[in-house]
A = this chain, B = another copy of it.
Amino acid sequence: GHTANKPCLAKFELLTSKWQMTSRKPPCVNSLPEGKLKILQDGLYLIYGQVAPSTAYKGVAPFAVQLRKNEAMLQTLTSNSTIYDVGGTYEFHAGDIIDLIFDDEHQVLKNNTYWGIVLLANLFIS
């Protein structure tokens, strides 16, 4: 199990057409069945990851990647020429739902696409 000294880190990969948590279950977040992440602990979190666009994609959907909190956009990527870094540093609160969505799952190279989260600090707001 986890001890207090281990970082609280989670990683998601596209093993199927849905995000799956491929790291061990950490204490500060939960994985939801639909491939979303639920925050369990108020804190300052860093999100990281990369999205590799598929040049073989022939569909009509525009390329669009959105990192969201409670279905509101935190970050969006719209062009498709290279590998994208996603993420940033955000305050999240217990109950927030975080997800990373695409217009079409075939737009990305699954084995080169992932995202993760790490708890940087608990919030001690007076």
Residues of A within 8 A of B (CB): 6-7, 9, 11, 22-24, 44, 46, 48, 73-75, 82, 85, 87-91, 116, 118, 120-126
Contact = CB atoms under 8 A, between A and B. Distances in A.
A7 B118 CA distance: 14
Nearest to A89: B48
A76 to B, nearest CB: 9
24 contacts: A6-B124, A7-B120, A7-B122, A9-B44, A9-B121, A9-B123, A9-B124, A22-B125, A22-B126, A23-B124, A23-B125, A24-B125, A24-B126, A44-B116, A46-B120, A48-B90, A48-B91, A73-B82, A74-B85, A75-B85, A87-B88, A87-B89, A118-B120, A118-B121
Contacts of A22: 125-126
> In the assembly, how many copies of this chain are there?
3
A44 B116 CA distance: 10
Given A7-B122, A23-B125, 8 more contacts: A7-B121, A24-B124, A46-B120, A48-B89, A48-B91, A74-B85, A87-B88, A91-B116
A23 B44 CA distance: 13
A116 B90 CA distance: 10
